């Protein structure tokens, strides 16, 4: 089954920031530091999660960028 845009690949956790907040924090970092310069590790640190935990919320860095472009946080699995 193909994943819908910005649908999480893992189990949605209730810990930490809400989906929209994760996108806002990531966007702030990408804008201030420059998209080409920011790595997943830095985004994870700013979100307060490990690099591997970043991948619970986004399939890849590219997936994060797609979510930011369409302005939609990942939707929780139901």
Q: Domain containing 32 — which CATH number?
A: 1.10.10.60
Question: At which residue do the structure tokens 């986004």 appear?
Answer: 58
How sure is the predictor about 9, in pLDDT bands with cuts at 50, 70 and 90? very low
* Domain-embedded: residue 59: yes
DSSP 8-state code for residue 34: -
Q: How far is CA 75 from CA 7, 28, 35, 65, in A?
A: 5, 21, 24, 15
Q: How far is CA 78 from CA 10, 29, 34, in A?
A: 12, 30, 35
* Domain-embedded: residue 13: no
* Domain-embedded: residue 76: no
pLDDT over 50 at 14, yes or no? no
The whole-chain average pLDDT of the chain stands at: 76
* Domain-embedded: residue 11: no
Q: Which domain holds residue 57?
A: 20-69
- Residues 36-56: pLDDT tens digits? 888 999 988 888 888 888 888
**pTM over cut 0.85:** no
Angle at 9 between CA 7 and CA 15, to 5 degrees: 90
* Domain-embedded: residue 15: no
């Amino acid at each position: 089954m193909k994943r819908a845009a910005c649908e999480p690949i893992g189990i949605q956790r209730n810990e930490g920031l809400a989906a929209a907040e994760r996108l806002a924090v990531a966007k702030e970092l990408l804008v201030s530091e420059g998209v080409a310069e920011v790595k997943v590790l830095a985004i994870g640190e700013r979100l307060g999660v490990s690099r591997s935990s970043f991948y619970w919320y986004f399939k890849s860095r590219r997936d994060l960028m797609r979510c930011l472009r369409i302005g939609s946080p990942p939707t929780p699995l139901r």
